[in-house]
């Protein structure tokens, strides 16, 4: 439930080209640890701190109180394409 809520809020606010939310709460009965990867054109003009502040603002206090830890991976489209390219080159 909480993952769907987070996904919906991020999609509405940022319209990302890629969004992955991974539940890393293996040792817990509830969802407490998340890893979120977001690729968004909006991040092109923002530094890492600005991106993270934006995500925390989108998630609101209510959602943040339900989660113990969030790992954010935020990329512009250009950064993401470079990562994908580098991974493909390593495979050759």
Contact (Cβ atoms closer than 8 angstroms) between residue 75 and residue 83: yes
pTM of the model: 0.85
Give the pair of three-digit tokens for residue 71.
Answer: 């790992």
pLDDT at 92 over 60: no
- For 44, the 3-state DSSP assignment is helix
Distance, CA of 2 to CA of 6 (rounded, Å): 6
User: What pLDDT is stored for residue 91 in this prediction?
Assistant: 53
Burial of 51 (0-12, 13-18, 19+ CB in 10 A): buried
pLDDT at 90 over 60: no
For the domain made up of 2-91, give the CATH fold: GMP Synthetase; Chain A, domain 3 (3.30.300)
Confidence of residue 42 (pLDDT cuts 50, 70, 90): very high
Tell me the per-residue pLDDT of 55-86, one tens digit each, with 9 for 90 and over.
Answer: 999 998 778 888 888 999 999 999 999 988 76
């Amino acid at each position: 439930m909480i993952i769907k809520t987070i996904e919906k809020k991020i999609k509405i606010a940022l319209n990302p080209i890629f969004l992955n939310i991974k539940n890393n709460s293996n040792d817990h009965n509830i969802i407490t640890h998340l890893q979120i990867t977001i690729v968004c054109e909006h991040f092109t003009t923002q530094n890492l701190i600005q991106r993270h502040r934006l995500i925390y603002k989108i998630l609101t206090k209510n959602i943040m109180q339900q989660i113990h830890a969030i790992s954010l991976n935020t990329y512009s489209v250009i950064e993401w394409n470079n990562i994908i390219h580098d991974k493909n080159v390593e495979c050759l």
